[in-house]
Amino acid sequence: MNIALLGTGLMGQALAEHLINEGQTVKVFNRTVEKVAQLQKNGAIVATTAQEALMDSDICILMLSDAEAIQAVLNSIESTAFKDKLIIQMGTISPNETRSFNQYIIERQGRYLDCPVLGSLPEARTGSLILMAGGSDKDYNVALPILQVIGKNPRHIGDVGQGATVKLAMNQLIAGLTASFALSLALVEKEGIETEQFMSIVRDSALYAPTFDKKLERMLTRDFSAPNFPTKHLAKDIRLFLSVAQQLNLETCALEGISQLLDKTLFQGLSNTDYSAMMAGITKGH
């Protein structure tokens, strides 16, 4: 299958590498040309424009950072180029933003699937991302063979926008679990309690989540380099969640505190580090 991949940041690169390894023909486009050099060496075809990538594709995947980036790329493509093309949007944006892009594509006689992913670089490289699709049964079934290459058990959540909703709900859990664990760990550290003693109790309790052990070493050593998911992206996703939740008249005071913590972490210059850097925000860098 000929796949166009627009957006080759951290996740886009990892996804492209996996698709190539699975025997797919992948044509990539990124507005920052330097980000496609390694992919070209690994077998990707590099397009000079987003339209060129789209025109040569059976399916076009958008793996861009936010709605503004998506709109900029879509605006660079002539309207007629979308005809009969299936666009799969895999970034984290709001439900209303993805519905707006759906309408944009339909007006140009294209098809659209809202399909954000849960997971990070290891899952993208191994085809084990969790996929949450929103769109028509017809478009989902057309996309399903390639979705099954990207993730082992894709879910068809419902209509366009509902995949985006579930993704925001999952990222809110990421932020909440990480912030809570970092705060508890910081308290234990300050009181001089042995970390492993604390962790053995956590692991034996109903409170345990595997993400605690995944982030433990980073938090203990304060080494947040080589991120799978940068802090700035989680901060963006939480702002999105807050906006959507407030429109739906949900109480968000608890999450507002976590959003402030993320902002403090960003202020420390940790935007491009792993989101476990919230530990530095809690301990003020110590």
β-strands 111-114, 117-118 pairing: unpaired
Third-level CATH fold of 2-159: Rossmann fold (3.40.50)
Third-level CATH fold of 164-282: N-(1-d-carboxylethyl)-l-norvaline Dehydrogenase; domain 2 (1.10.1040)
> pLDDT tens across 104-158, in order?
999 999 999 999 999 999 999 999 999 999 999 999 999 999 999 999 999 999 9
C-alpha–C-alpha distance, residues 254 and 120, integer Å: 25
Count of CB atoms within 10 A of residue 168's CB? 23
Residue type at 132 in one-letter notation: M
Give this prediction's pTM: 0.95
Distance (Å) of CA 175 to CA 67, 88, 110: 21, 26, 35
The pair phi, psi for residue 3, each rounded to 5°, is -115, 130
Q: Given this chain, do its domains 2-159 and 164-282 carry the same CATH topology?
A: no
What pLDDT band is residue 286 in, cutting at 50, 70 and 90?
Answer: low
> pLDDT tens across 172-182, in order?
999 999 999 99
Task: Look at residue 284 in the predicted model and tell me its pLDDT.
Answer: 83
Sequence spans of domains, the chain: 2-159, 164-282
Task: Look at residue 35 in the predicted model and tell me its pLDDT.
Answer: 87
Distance (Å) of CA 66 to CA 78, 92, 194, 212: 21, 7, 41, 28
Task: Look at residue 285 in the predicted model and tell me its pLDDT.
Answer: 63
- The token duo for 52 is 């060129």
Rounded (10°) angle between helices 95-107 and 162-190: 150
